[in-house]
């Protein structure tokens, strides 16, 4: 049989059939694309909603629970960051709507850029939220009352200092907050300084980090007074005056600049030791000695960059403080 001859009519039919197939393919793509685009906006909005402020009684109602002041300070930090995230989620939503109307490559890439920026914020806020969720959550466990006792020691230090000033000043709020963490040495994070743990956000109140080994050996808890005193130096505005006066005093006495720089570098640890001694009395010397008593090469080692005085000097400095406080026999022993 001869092949059919293509007429003008058959050619026209074939050309017209192609456009009818294209909308069908576009419709299939749209049925997947549009819900996915809407989900991008919903995801970011739900993330922002999940990173909510903490409720006042979420971590208990007993004395060991975080105080209302601590919860409010953390919520203020979270809410401030969350407002920025909600603005970003609005931009993601706008980009998703415009992309739904015209799903071009450029619009899709713009949407993904907005989404990535928002998720970067989500991860940052989530890190902060998790940090405080864990800290506050410790007050619901078996160590809650131990940590409460450390809080009260820290608050007593503040009360003693602030009510004993020449002109009384209100105690900064919220007061120091204690929590447990693994590690050998205690540490503190001062009020108002940017913390890596918080994505460089400012720390809203003093944190006193205590290893479990200190909590089970309460005679080593002179550390609470020492770490609290680091915060007192800052909150009292002495963190600039003391190193300047130490350096000037040494230079007037004929010390070299190198020696003066060393003692200036040691000023924070010396202040924390001596403040703890004046707040806690002779028992602090025993707590300090427990930490400093190590092998001879460590006790006598000088670190040219270290912020702690050489352990041998450190103990002698503090026994001299005891002597000047009137505890001559304790200092001699």
The predicted-structure confidence for 193-221, as pLDDT tens digits, reads as follows: 999 888 899 999 999 999 998 999 888 89
Asked if the model's pLDDT at residue 322 lies above 50, the reply is yes
Establish how many alpha carbons lie within 13 A of residue 162's alpha carbon, considering only the half-sphere containing its beta carbon: 18
User: In this structure, are residues 296 and 312 in contact, taking their beta carbons and an 8 Å threshold?
Assistant: no
Asked if the model's pLDDT at residue 74 lies above 90, the reply is yes
Q: What kind and span of H or E run contains 187?
A: strand 187-189
**pLDDT for residue 46:** 86
- Please state, in angstroms and rounded to a whole number, the distance separating the CA atoms of residues 291 and 255: 30
**pLDDT for residue 5:** 40
Asked if the model's pLDDT at residue 9 lies above 80, the reply is no
Establish how many alpha carbons lie within 13 A of residue 278's alpha carbon, considering only the half-sphere containing its beta carbon: 16
Binning pLDDT at 50, 70 and 90, where does residue 10 land? very low
**pLDDT for residue 29:** 56
**pLDDT for residue 195:** 92
3-state secondary structure of 188: strand
**pLDDT for residue 224:** 96
Report helix, strand and coil shares of the chain as percent, to nearest 5.
70, 5, 30
**pLDDT for residue 237:** 93
- 176 conformational bin, left if phi > 0, alpha if psi -120 to 50, beta if neither: beta
Q: Which residue has the tokens 């909005």?
A: 45
**pLDDT for residue 271:** 97
Binning pLDDT at 50, 70 and 90, where does residue 17 land? very low
Which residue did the predictor score with more confidence, 263 or 291? 263
Asked if the model's pLDDT at residue 31 lies above 80, the reply is no
Distances (CA, A) of 8 to 11, 15, 17: 5, 11, 15
**pLDDT for residue 39:** 86
**pLDDT for residue 30:** 66
Q: Which residue has the tokens 């609290």?
A: 228
Phi and psi torsions of 186, nearest 5°: -70, 165
What is the mean predicted confidence (pLDDT) over 241-270?
97
Asked if the model's pLDDT at residue 234 lies above 90, the reply is yes
Which residue did the predictor score with more confidence, 54 or 45? 54
**pLDDT for residue 12:** 43
For residues 187-219, one letter each, b for 16 or more C-beta atoms within 10 angstroms of the residue's C-beta and e for the rest, the string is: ebbbbeeebeebbebebbbbbbbbbeebbeeee
């Amino acid at each position: 049989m001869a092949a059919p001859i293509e007429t003008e009519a058959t050619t026209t039919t074939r050309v017209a059939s192609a456009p009818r197939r294209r909308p069908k393919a576009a419709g299939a793509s749209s049925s997947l694309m549009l819900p996915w685009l809407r989900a991008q906006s919903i995801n970011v909005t739900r993330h922002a909603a999940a990173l909510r402020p903490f409720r006042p009684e979420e971590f208990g109602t007993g004395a060991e629970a975080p105080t209302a002041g601590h919860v409010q300070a953390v919520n203020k930090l979270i809410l401030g960051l969350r407002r920025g995230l909600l603005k970003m989620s609005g931009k993601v939503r706008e980009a998703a709507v415009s992309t739904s109307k015209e799903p071009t490559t450029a619009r899709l890439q713009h949407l993904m850029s907005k989404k990535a920026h928002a998720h970067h914020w989500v991860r940052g806020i989530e890190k902060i939220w998790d940090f405080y969720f864990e800290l506050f959550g410790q007050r619901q466990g078996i160590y809650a009352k131990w940590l409460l006792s450390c809080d009260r020691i820290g608050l007593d230090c503040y009360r003693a200092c602030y009510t004993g000033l020449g002109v009384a000043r209100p105690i900064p709020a919220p007061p120091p907050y204690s929590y447990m963490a693994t590690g050998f040495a205690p540490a503190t994070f001062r009020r108002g300084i940017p913390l890596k743990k918080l994505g460089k956000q400012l720390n809203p109140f003093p944190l006193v980090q205590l290893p479990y080994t200190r909590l089970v050996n309460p005679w080593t808890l002179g550390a609470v007074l020492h770490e609290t005193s680091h915060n007192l130096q800052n909150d009292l505005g002495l963190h600039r005056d003391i190193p300047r006066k130490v350096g000037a005093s040494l230079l007037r006495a004929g010390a070299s600049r190198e020696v003066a720089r060393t003692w200036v570098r040691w000023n924070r640890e010396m202040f924390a030791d001596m403040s703890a001694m004046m707040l806690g009395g002779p028992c602090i010397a025993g707590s300090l000695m427990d930490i400093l008593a190590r092998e001879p090469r460590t006790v006598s080692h000088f670190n040219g960059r270290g912020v702690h005085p050489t352990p041998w000097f450190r103990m002698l400095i503090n026994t001299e403080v005891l002597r000047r406080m009137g505890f001559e026999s304790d200092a001699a022993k």
